[in-house]
Amino acid sequence: MSKGCIVTEVAPQLVGNRKWVAIYPAPEGEIRGAYKYFEVELPGYIVERDLDWFESDEITSWQFVADLAGLYDLLETKNLDPETFDVPWKFNYPYHY
């Protein structure tokens, strides 16, 4: 696992949106888990035009995972292939990394 986040783009819930899954190493001292699994979906026009957005524009969810084995289990339940994750800029991930 890298020290920064890794990302993959997945199918959005809503037509016209774009959606990403990111995995972040938890900050030092975080007691909820070693990794943060984060999903974010935004309207496509915001991403394509590189516009600012508000929290009300996002569809997000996240959870902390205790260890690498738990992370792989979570990815399996979400039908996500760990090999599809890469550096954020390859997927036009909208958050600063």
Answer whether residue 96 is part of any domain: no
Please give, one letter per residue, the 3-state secondary structure of the chain. Answer: CCCCCEEEEECCCCCCEEEEEEEEECCCCCCCCCEEEEEEEEEHHHHHCCCCCCHHHCEEEEEEECCHHHHHHHHHHCCCCHHHCECHHHHCCCCCC
pLDDT in tens, 33-52: 899 999 999 999 999 998 99
Mean pLDDT, residues 53-82? 95
Structural domain including 26 reads 6-91
Residue 96: the pLDDT is 66
Residue 43: the pLDDT is 96
Answer whether residue 97 is part of any domain: no
**Percent of the chain surpassing pLDDT 90:** 77
Answer whether residue 1 is part of any domain: no
Is 2's pLDDT higher than 80?
A: no
> What pTM, to 2 d.p., does this model score?
0.89
Count how many domains the chain has.
1
